A = this chain, B = another copy of it.
Amino acid sequence: MAMTGSGDVVVAAGQCSVDEPDVTMRVAHQLLAGGATMLRGGAYKPRTKPTSFQGRGKEALATLARAKEETGLPIVTELLDVRDLADVLEVADMIQVGARNMQNTGMLKTLGQVDCPVLLKRAFSATIDETVAAAEYIWRGGNERVILCERGIRTFEPAYRFTLDLAAVPILQKRSGLPVWVDPSHAPGRRDLVLRLSLAAIAVGADGLIVEVDEDPPTARSDPDQQLYSADFAIYLGKVRGLVEAMGRRIA
């Protein structure tokens, strides 16, 4: 897995929420066949409302472990509560800190002491400097393997959930010296923009993409409107790869 500065582009793909194990296995195999380089999947879900699906927790971690064993794809999954860290570390090759926890300084300090890369998502109204400062909480603890992720900021525009701030990518790279990924799924919250925003992210110089894909998004228990269909993933990634290669880089 290429992480920093090599020019290779990481593509982490997978379900918003890991639910039925068989579905996850089928999706994982499609992603592998399509060329994804990591498998993402949510076990613990940060939901606005307490009545929304909160994720399958440890069951989902077990499902991800099985998917990793079957496909060989490394796993990125979110840590939502620091008390779940040991469980998450058993499976994760990269721990995701979600936007809502970007300034959870207790969690950041704890992650500074683990031996696992951290994908730190920019909070949806954090400035660039605040995002870099959050990363600093981790690396000062001794864990220097931090990847930043732009996932959209909150603005006045109702046409999409968040406004993807692509100018942040080169500035975050310059100010932090860290690789910067882009999440083209959560920002718009609409499937029809995912490809175009993925291409724009590559063009602006992102080091990776983390994209949501599920077998049958309309029936998914979270983010039904924005996930790509796993059956379409290879076509999607083919287009992204075309641009990546035209820019002299490769997906790896």
Residues of A whose CB lies within 8 Å of any CB of B are: 46-51, 54, 80-83, 100-101, 103-106, 108-109, 124-125, 127-130, 133-134, 136-137, 140, 153-160, 163-171, 187-188, 192-193, 196-197, 199-205, 242-243, 246-247
Q: Do the beta carbons of A106 and B81 come within 8 Å of each other?
A: yes
Q: Select from chain B the residue with minimum beta-carbon distance to A166.
A: B200
Chain B, Cβ-Cβ closest to A134: B48
**In the docked arrangement, what's the CA distance between A197 and B170, Å?**
10
- Tell me whether A197 and B166 are in contact in the complex, defined as CB-CB below 8 angstroms, given that A83-B82, A100-B103 are known contacts: yes
List the B residue with the shortest CB-CB distance to A81: B106
List 21 A-B residue pairs with CB atoms under 8 Å apart, sorted by A's residue number. A46-B105, A48-B103, A50-B133, A50-B137, A50-B140, A81-B82, A101-B104, A127-B158, A127-B159, A153-B155, A153-B163, A155-B165, A157-B168, A160-B171, A163-B165, A167-B187, A167-B188, A170-B193, A199-B203, A199-B204, A200-B204
> For the complex, what is the distance from the CA of A188 to the CA of B82, rounded to whole Å?
32
Alpha-carbon distance A159/B126, docked complex (angstroms): 12
- In the complex, besides A49-B133, A51-B140, A170-B192, 20 extra interface pairs with C-beta distance below 8 angstroms are A46-B105, A47-B105, A50-B133, A81-B105, A81-B106, A100-B103, A127-B157, A128-B157, A129-B159, A153-B163, A160-B167, A163-B167, A164-B165, A166-B197, A197-B204, A199-B203, A203-B203, A203-B243, A246-B246, A246-B247
